[in-house]
């Protein structure tokens, strides 16, 4: 079983959601499919697909205008949440410490955080991928509880370019060893960044790759379904 996790980002209306989730209903797969929707679409899921959120407040309640708490997500039956996506780190100044606090808040509410890490193009070109990713993992994970790590090189997101299979394997192995060092070696490690129907099966079957995080190609059934079907 591989995780196939969609990230809708700031896209989609109720009819888009209905169209996609209806089409997923008839797909037979051993993979665990999760669609991370914007907050506005989290309410009312009659289609059977597991839904996730894209962010969670590190606070439990109170004067935090515009934020959404773990309790509010649990109330809508949300089981997974993305934390520390590179767009949150970039546009909302989320540090590893904030990401850790958000992941901890998710676990407190029985929601599994999908903790995103990944190097920038400059860091890759400087040969710093492994040290950057290792530090992000160690500083972003909660002290206890179950979580998923998503390796998303920033330069591959939305770019129609992916690392080579060898590069992905090497980074995932580093993440695996880092997690083993804190006795979390059973943590799923998924890859994200320009996954499509052409590269999904190859990437998903690499060593230490337990699934995929998919942005653009998760928005429509004609791009998402071939990915789900190709990953065995």
Clarify whether 85 is annotated catalytic: yes
CB 13 within 8 A of CB 221: no
Coil, strand, or helix at residue 214? Answer: strand
Helix (H) or strand (E) holding 212: strand 211-214
Q: Give the closest residue to 140 by CA, choosing from 124, 119, 117.
A: 117
Clarify whether 152 is annotated catalytic: yes
From the list 2, 3, 4, 7, which residue makes contact with ligand PEP (rule: CB under 6 A)? 7
Piece of the chain touching ligand PEP by CB under 6 A; list 65-73, 165-173, 192-200, 203-211: 192-200
Chain positions 16 to 55 lying near ligand PEP, rule: CB under 6 A, are none
Report the nearest approach of ligand PEP to the CB of residue 213 (Å): 5
Report the nearest approach of ligand PEP to the CB of residue 59 (Å): 25
Structure tokens that stand for 15 in this block: 């009819």
Out of 58, 119, 152, 172, the active site residue is 152
- Cα distances (angstroms) measured from residue 64 to each of 56, 59, 60, 129, 194: 12, 8, 10, 35, 34
Count residues contacting ligand PEP (CB under 6 A)?
A: 13
Q: CA 88, 93, 99, 101 torsion: positive or negative?
A: negative
From the list 133, 137, 148, 214, which residue makes contact with ligand PEP (rule: CB under 6 A)? 214
Report the nearest approach of ligand PEP to the CB of residue 46 (Å): 26
Give me the active site residues, please.
85, 152
């Amino acid at each position: 079983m591989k995780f196939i996790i969609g990230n809708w980002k700031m896209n989609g209306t109720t009819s888009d959601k209905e169209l996609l989730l209806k089409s997923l209903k008839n797909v037979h797969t051993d993979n665990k499919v999760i669609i991370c929707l914007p907050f506005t679409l989290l309410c009312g899921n009659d289609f059977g697909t597991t839904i996730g959120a894209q962010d969670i407040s590190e606070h439990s309640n109170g004067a935090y205008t515009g934020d959404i708490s773990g309790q509010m997500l649990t109330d809508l039956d949300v089981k997974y949440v993305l934390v520390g996506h590179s767009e949150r780190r970039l546009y909302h100044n989320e540090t590893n410490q904030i990401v850790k606090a958000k992941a901890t808040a998710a676990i407190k509410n029985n929601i599994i955080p999908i903790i995103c890490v990944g190097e920038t193009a400059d860091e890759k070109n400087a040969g710093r991928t492994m040290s950057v990713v290792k530090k992000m993992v160690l500083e972003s994970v909660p002290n206890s509880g179950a979580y998923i790590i998503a390796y998303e090189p920033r330069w591959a997101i939305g770019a129609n370019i992916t690392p080579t299979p060898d590069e992905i394997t090497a980074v995932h192995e580093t993440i695996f060893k880092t997690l083993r060092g804190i006795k979390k070696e059973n943590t799923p490690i998924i890859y994200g960044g320009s996954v499509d129907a052409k590269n999904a099966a190859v990437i998903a079957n690499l060593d230490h790759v337990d699934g995929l995080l998919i942005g653009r190609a998760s928005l429509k059934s004609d791009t998402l379904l071939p990915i789900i079907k190709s990953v065995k």
